[in-house]
Structures are given as C-alpha cells and as structure tokens.
Structure 1
Amino acid sequence: DVYVALVRSDADQCNSPANLNLLEDLQWRFEQLESVQNTFSLANGVKAVQRGLSEGYPKWSHVPQEQIAINGTTGSLPPGFINLDCSFTPLYVFLKDHKAATLAEVTQTLTEFDTELQSKETSMRVLPAAGNAGIEAAVNESIEQQQNTMLWVIYAVVFFMCLITFKNVWHVLAILMPLAMTSILCQVLMVWLDIGVKVSTLPVIALGVGIGVDYGVYIVARYVITKDMSIVLSNTGRIVAFTGIALAVSVGTWMFSAIQFQADMGYLLTFMFIWNMVGALFVIPCLLSFFNKKNDESS
C-alpha cells in the first residue's frame, strides 16, 4: 500500500537544500509510525547518486548543501521525481496495511507538518495525496463527513412520506423507531465483525432502511383498517415474516463467498432483514399500543 504525499514549492526550488532537509524531516516523522514500513523521496535519490559518484563510500550518502552539487545529482535521477519547472516532487510512504486508522494516522502527520511549514519562511507545502492508499484516505474522509448527513436525509424522506400516507405522527414514529434501532445495531455489528465504513458498505444502511420500512408500512396500514392487532399479526404478520425470512436466507448465502465485498454484504443485509422483520412483528405493535394509551389518557 503506497501513500504519496505531494510536495509543492516555488519554481526551481523543489531540490533546494532547505527543502530537501525539510523533506527528510517529514520522512523521519512518517518512519516513526508503526504502520509505516519505509519512505522514499527526492532526498533519497540525491543521496544515492551522491554516494554512487563517490565510489559507494557511505560517508557521502547525504544531501549536499550546495545547490550546484544537488543539480548535478538530480540530472542523474530517473523521470518522475520532479516536474518540468521543479515545483513538485512526490514523497512515497509504504504502509503495512490500508486500514482506516492507518490512513488517518498518516494523513494527520502530514497535516500537522504542513501546518508547521506555514509558520516558517519557506515556500514548501505538503499536500495529500496520491497512490492507492492516498485515494482511499480521501474516500474515507468523504465518507466520514457524509455518512451522518446521508442517514438524516434518508430518515427525513421516510418520515415525510409516511406522514403524508398515514397523517398521524405516532404511526410514523412507530415505523421509524425500529428502523433506527436496526441501523444502530448494524453499526455495532460492523464494529464486531471489523467491517469498515467504505463506499461498498455505506449504501447498506440506506438499503436496510428502504426495505425495512415496507414491513412497518404493511403492519401499520393493516392496523389502521382493522384496529385489531391480533388480526394484523395473524394475516399481514405472516406475510412480513415470510418475506423477511426469504430475503434473509437468500442473501445469507453470500456470507460464504470468497469475495470479501460479497461476504460483508451477506452479513449486513441478512442482519438488517431479520431485525427489520423482528421490529415490525414485535416492536411496532408494542409502540402502537403505547401510543394509543397515551392518546386515550390525553383525550
């Protein structure tokens, strides 16, 4: 897993002695992290050429402090270390894994170093990030920022659509509360199974809410007509139970897949289908009974 930090400076300054010293400082900070295996940058290339020009003598494996000497070494480096006007150079950070905690730790180290640079008299700035790990880090940040917003929007849409349908706030709350409980339990399950929130797992909660609300709508709609929960459960309840079990069994086979994404989907969807069914058959009747008693007492 490679995390590539982008080091920016003024034109013709990416290989200045001061900037290369700062680059080595940043590399040292990265290498102090347990999740980092190694780093490589323009400074390493300059030191390698400098040592090679001195018959491999280790003493000369250092960054020269004279610009003319550095220019002589950078000309021997392969392409990709600097751009045409020498204003960008990459810093490669090789990671042990690409877990969210690892990527967050590396990004935090980079951000803290760039903040320190802003208080110094240098044009050097460190920007995140490229490489497969850098892209995953950016995706993780976006997901972390948007996942709560997504949930609020989903529940708001479901709330207003159910309110338009039933025109009763208590009935809507009876539908939504089991869904909210299932969403919370699903996140607990993800922690227990060590399944991270990522692009592939983020829509699962939305899918669970979208399918789970159907069970509640069936129960409440039937209850509004009959006003008898025993009739609702003996008729509509059987249909809800059959649908929930059929969906759970069908997607449950995904848990045995060798593809990690499909296995994760199998665990999460099976859990949400089962718990949404349980919520519709047991929690919603209790909530409707409770809300009806409250309405009777208030009236």
Structure 2
Amino acid sequence: FYYKDHQGETIRRAIHTAKQWIAENGDKVEGLTIHLAGGTIGVTAAMNEAAYETNLWVLPLVFILIFLFVTFFYSSIAAGSMMFMAMLFATTLTYAYMGVTHMGININTVPIIAVGVGVGIDYSIYMMDRIRSEMVARGDLAVSVRQAIRTTGLAVSFTAITLMAGIVMWVILSDLRFQADAALLLIVMVVLNGAAAMLLVPSWVLVFKPKFICDAYEDEDGVIHSH
C-alpha cells in the first residue's frame, strides 16, 4: 500500500529498483543474503512475470494452430496465410492500444488476448468462406466480394455490436478495475478483428485472387472443392 497503484509498470519499476539495490549493496555485509520478500507487490510481480513468459508461447501457439486448422480445412496455404495476417493485424494493434493506455501484459490481460484472438478470427473465416461460396455460385470475384459484404458483413457487424453491447456494461457499471480493463480490451479486439474481416480479407481476395476461391467448384453432393 506504499505504492500509488498496482499496475504492471509500477510493479516492474519497484522490482527493478529493489533488484538494482540488492546488486549494489547485497554483498557489503559478510554472510548476508538479501532476497525479495512477498507481500502484495511481490506476489503480483511474480504472477505478472509468469504471465509474460506464458504469453511468449501461448499466443504464437494459438496463431500456429489456427493457421494449421484453416490450411487443412481449405487445403490451401493461402487460406491459412490470410487468416494468419488478419490475426496479426488485430493483435499488433491491440498491443499498440495496450502500450498507449499503459495496460501492461499481466495475469489479467494475457487470457483476454488469447480469448479475443479466438473469438475475433471467426469473423474473418466467415467472410472468407462466404466469398468462396458466392464465387462458386456467381463466377465473378468482384460481385462475390460485394455480395459477401452485404450478407455476411452485415451478420458480422450485428454479432460484434451485440457482443460489445454486453461487454460494455462491465466498463460502465463495474467497480473492479480488472473487469473494466478486461472488457475494454476485449471490445478493442472485437472491433479490430471485425475491421480485419470487413476490410482486409475482401481486399486481399481481390488483390491476390487466391486459387482456393477463384478455382473453387461444387460437386454433386454440394461440397465445395478447389482445383
């Protein structure tokens, strides 16, 4: 309670200062060994360090798994790469937002980021799959993209707004800082993933014209394949 707050930056500064002092003065008394104690700051610092280390492998693992699953399902590396880039766009801007607002990587934010990636990538997959279906039915890429935005794009927008409407109550009504920060972070991720689905995915399809979309066809059982 001697610190102004328990935010990640404050805790990191406190631990760094303590470790620096120990390094400079810890060996001045023979036989004396100084260790960092527990307490609220110490325990929180340990949890944040563990969360940071976990984040270094959890998020890349999420990216890799989604890339592999999409690539396998669509039998196309281009499909997996498109979803990977959509995730990278949203996640990078999420970290930028966290940096601007001084919201550190800690035990509270790491799970939210992982959940946000998993929830948000659905929007891009919906859009990509609808463009593919429209391409099979219409045979014109530009028309297919416009139709996908008019239909699936509307559904994505409605879903995102509905999700944010529920989450925003935590920001407005919650007295707990964790809930408010987590809700705001999740809203940011939903918005960014929605933007990636509505803007980036259709643009990439029009520019790169991936074969798994442009060469897609429907068999007699109604299953869509690619040449």
* TM-score interval, normalised by the smaller of the two chains: 0.7 to 0.9
Residue 149 and residue 293 in structure 1: after superposition, are their counterparts in 2 closer, same or farther (change >3 A)? closer
Q: Cα RMSD (Å) of the superposition?
A: 2.5
> Shift of residue 281 of structure 1?
1.2
Name the structure 1 match of 2:196.
279
Normalising by structure 1, we get a TM-score of 0.61
> Shift of residue 235 of structure 1?
2.2
Name the structure 2 match of 1:239.
155
Alpha-carbon distance between aligned partners in 1 of 2:7 and 2:121, rounded to the nearest angstrom = 33
**Size of the alignment, in residue pairs?**
204
Normalising by structure 2, we get a TM-score of 0.78
Alpha-carbon distance between aligned partners in 1 of 2:62 and 2:146, rounded to the nearest angstrom = 31
Residue 243 and residue 105 in structure 1: after superposition, are their counterparts in 2 closer, same or farther (change >3 A)? closer
> Shift of residue 131 of structure 1?
0.7
Within 5 A, what are the aligned runs for 1:112-127?
112-115=20-23, 122-127=30-35
Residue 97 and residue 223 in structure 1: after superposition, are their counterparts in 2 closer, same or farther (change >3 A)? closer
Structure 2 residue matching 1:125: 3-state secondary structure: coil
Alpha-carbon distance between aligned partners in 1 of 2:194 and 2:109, rounded to the nearest angstrom = 21
Q: Does 1:255 align with 2:194?
A: no
> Shift of residue 214 of structure 1?
0.9
Name the structure 2 match of 1:99.
7
Alpha-carbon distance between aligned partners in 2 of 1:224 and 1:234, rounded to the nearest angstrom = 14
Q: Does 1:184 align with 2:101?
A: no
Q: Does 1:209 align with 2:117?
A: yes
Q: Which moved more, 1:191-200 or 1:128-137?
A: 191-200
Alpha-carbon distance between aligned partners in 2 of 1:193 and 1:112, rounded to the nearest angstrom = 27
Contact 2:8 2:103 in 1 (8 A): no
Higher RCO by CA contacts (8 Å cutoff, separation 6 or greater):
2
Structure 2 residue matching 1:129: 3-state secondary structure: coil
Contact 1:151 1:206 in 2 (8 A): yes
2:57 aligns with one of 136, 149, 163: 149
Between structures 1 and 2, the one with greater helix share: 2
Task: Please list every run of 5 or more consecutive structure 2 residues that lacks an aligned counterpart in the other structure.
Answer: 136-143, 215-227
Q: Does 1:196 align with 2:104?
A: yes
Which protein is bigger by CA-based radius of gyration? 1
Q: Does 1:165 align with 2:81?
A: no
Alpha-carbon distance between aligned partners in 2 of 1:118 and 1:195, rounded to the nearest angstrom = 33
Task: Please list every run of 5 or more consecutive structure 1 residues that lacks an aligned counterpart in the other structure.
Answer: 2-93
Q: Provide runs of 4+ in structure 1 moved above 6 Å.
A: 117-121, 293-296
Alpha-carbon distance between aligned partners in 2 of 1:259 and 1:204, rounded to the nearest angstrom = 16
